[in-house]
Amino acid sequence: MIELKNISKCFGEKHIFEGFDIMIDDGDFIILCGESGAGKTTLLNIIAGLEKADSGERNAPDDMRMSMVFQEDRLCAEFNAVNNVCLATEEISQDDAARELEKLLPKDRIGRKVKDLSGGEKRRVAVVRAMMHPADIYLLDEPFLGMDASLRGETLRYILEKKGESALVITAHEWNEDAGKRRYL
């Protein structure tokens, strides 16, 4: 599906990647772990085609559908959670969006403006929005920010259920979740 060959990326004198290769196939679940500044977000952006590598090749089908959760939530602060999810696709009704949000948020939080939600609640809205967008690959940059272990587990189960046969790439500072078959980089 997506192949990166011999990717190199530098920021000034700092080499983030040199000769990096990866093949991401349908159904893959890949976890990119590392400390801040290790290049996880940069690699996710290269995979998505949002950033160019200094050298190497990125091969992906032109018609590949992607959905992302960025490090910043990128939600519309004045919209409620339901309206933010509905922005993902025209194919979802407000009722369907509300039902999906209820899987990760308390019911009384769904109708509130996003600016009034906690950081972890905003993150869960961003996750639901991304997962409601039909995609061949889901790229989730630190999707569990602001969540305790219980919420991380609940959110991960939701993500894995919604991804279906699509590929999934998640970045994290650390990973200690039991999520079945996956690859670590």
* pLDDT, tens only, 11-49: 999 999 999 999 999 999 999 998 888 899 999 999 999
Dihedral sign for Cα atoms in the order 34, 148, 128, 168: positive
How far is Cα 7 from Cα 148, in angstroms, rounded to an integer? 35
Angle, helix 149-163 to helix 119-132, in steps of 10 degrees: 10
Which region, left, alpha or beta, applies to residue 4 given φ > 0 means left and ψ of -120 to 50 means alpha? beta
Q: Give me 63's structure tokens.
A: 């018609």
Q: Within a 10 A sphere around the Cβ of 82, how many other Cβ atoms?
A: 21
Q: pTM for this one?
A: 0.91
pLDDT in tens, 111-159: 999 999 999 999 999 999 999 999 999 999 999 998 999 999 999 999 9
Q: Where are the alpha helices (DSSP H) in 109-148?
A: 119-132
Q: What is the pLDDT of residue 36?
A: 87
Q: Is the pLDDT of residue 181 over 70?
A: no
What Å distances lie between residue 13 and 9, 42, 85, CA to CA? 10, 16, 40
The answer to whether the CB of 131 falls within 8 A of the CB of 84 is no
How far is Cα 70 from Cα 32, in angstroms, rounded to an integer? 14
Alpha carbons within 13 angstroms on the beta-carbon side of residue 173 total 7
Mean pLDDT of 53-79: 95
How far is Cα 37 from Cα 108, in angstroms, rounded to an integer? 37
Residues 6 or more apart whose CB falls under 8 angstroms from that of 149 comprise none
Q: What is the pLDDT of residue 185?
A: 53
Considering the segment(s) 25-35+62-184 as one domain, its CATH architecture is 3-Layer(aba) Sandwich (3.40)
Q: Domain ranges in the chain? A: 25-35+62-184
How far is Cα 130 from Cα 67, in angstroms, rounded to an integer? 6
